[in-house]
Chains A and B, each alone.
Chain A
Amino acid sequence: MDDVFKALADASRRLLLDRLRARNGQTLGELAAQLDMSRQAVTKHLAVLEEASLVVTIWRGREKLHYLNPAPIHEIARRWIAEYEKTRVAVLADLKRALEEREASDD
C-alpha cells in the first residue's frame, strides 16, 4: 500500500493515470505524445506506477500496452469506505461535481 500512495503523490503520475482512464491500453509513444514530458520521464513514471500495480502492461504483437489497474485503489477504498456508506459518499461526490461544473460553466 505504501507503493500506491507514493506513486499517487505526484501530479505527473496522476496525469498519466487520467490519460489511461480516458483511453485504456496505450503505448509509451502514445502517452508521451499527449504530455509535455520527455519519453524518458514518462518511462520513469510508468515504472513507478507499474511497481505499485496501478498500471499493468501486456504485449499485443510488438506493442506494449499500458492499462489502468483499478484493483489497488479499490482495495484502499474498501479499507476506509464501508459498503453501506458508499451510496452517501457517491451522493456527496455527485453534488460536488454538479456544483463545480455549474461554476465552471458560469465563468
Chain B
Amino acid sequence: MTRPSFVYVTYIATTAERLWQALTSAEFTERYMFGRRVESSWAVGAPVRYWGRDGKLSDSGIVLEADPPRHLVFTWRVELDDALRAEGYSTVTFDIESLGAEVKLTVVHDDLREGSGVLQGISGGWPKALASLKSLLETGRPLAISAPETAAAGEAAAIETARAAR
C-alpha cells in the first residue's frame, strides 16, 4: 500500500455544503486557486478540468469517487508544462467533516513521485490555496496570494489580485 505524499488539514468556520460548493464550483475556485476555474459535473467517471485565466487548460483528471458534501476523489495531471504533464496522474482526495460550528477539511495527495516537479508545486500551492479558501469562506474575501510556480508569475498574480481588490 503506497503512502500519500501530502496530507493537509484545515478547520473552516462554514458548513459542509458551502465548503463542497467552494471546492467544486468555478466561481469559487477562481478566487482562491490562483485564478483557476474548475469544470466538472462531479459524477463518477466525469472529466475534471481546471482552466487558467488565459483560457489555457491548467490541470485535468477524472472523478473517481463523489459523495457530496463529504468525500471527493479525482485524478490530477498538470497540463500546462510538458515535463510536469509527463509525470502523469496523481490522486486528490477531499474529506469534509462537520464539527459543530466548523468543518474539518482534509486534503490528501497520493501517487506523486518522490522529487517530482508536481510535488514541489503542490507543496507550495495547496497551503496557500487552502488559507485563501478559509479566508474566502470566513470573511467573504480571498487572500492576496501569489502562485508558487515562478517568481514572475507570482508577481503577476499578486498584481492581478491587488487590481481585483480595488
Measuring CB to CB, which residues of chain A are less than 8 angstroms from any residue of chain B? 24-25, 53, 56, 58, 60-61, 63, 65, 67, 69-71, 74-75, 78, 83-84, 87
Contact A78 B131 (CB under 8 A): yes
Residues from chain A with Cβ under 8 Å of B7 in the complex: 24-25, 56, 58, 65, 67, 69
Contact A74 B127 (CB under 8 A): yes
Whether B9 sits at the interface, judged by CB under 8 Å, is yes
Residues from chain A with Cβ under 8 Å of B131 in the complex: 71, 74-75, 78
How many residue pairs link A and B with beta carbons under 8 A? The number is 55
Whether B144 sits at the interface, judged by CB under 8 Å, is yes
Whether B164 sits at the interface, judged by CB under 8 Å, is no
Residues from chain B with Cβ under 8 Å of A69 in the complex: 7-9
Whether B3 sits at the interface, judged by CB under 8 Å, is yes
Contact A25 B4 (CB under 8 A): yes
Point out which of B1, B6, B7, B8 has the most chain A C-beta atoms below 10 A from its C-beta.
B7
Contact B146 A83 (CB under 8 A): yes
Point out which of A61, A71, A75, A78 has the most chain B C-beta atoms below 10 A from its C-beta.
A71
Instruction: Give Cα A75–Cα B9 distance, bound, in whole angstroms.
Output: 12
Residues from chain A with Cβ under 8 Å of B127 in the complex: 70-71, 74
Partner of B130, one of A53, A71, A87: A71
Smallest CB separation, B166 vs chain A (Å): 15
The answer to whether residues A25 and B146 also contact, given A53-B11, A71-B127, A75-B131 and a CB cut-off of 8 A, is no
Residues from chain B with Cβ under 8 Å of A61 in the complex: 1
Contact B3 A70 (CB under 8 A): no
Smallest CB separation, A63 vs chain B (Å): 8
Chosen A-B contacts, 9 in total, with CB atoms closer than 8 Å, are A24-B5, A25-B4, A25-B7, A60-B1, A63-B1, A67-B6, A71-B131, A75-B134, A78-B131
Partner of A71, one of B4, B9, B146: B9
Contact B3 A60 (CB under 8 A): yes
Contact B144 A25 (CB under 8 A): no
Instruction: Give Cα A70–Cα B107 distance, bound, in whole angstroms.
Output: 12
Within 8 A of A (CB), among B63-95: none
Residues from chain A with Cβ under 8 Å of B130 in the complex: 71
Contact A70 B8 (CB under 8 A): yes
Contact A53 B9 (CB under 8 A): yes
Whether B40 sits at the interface, judged by CB under 8 Å, is no
Whether B10 sits at the interface, judged by CB under 8 Å, is yes
Smallest CB separation, A87 vs chain B (Å): 8
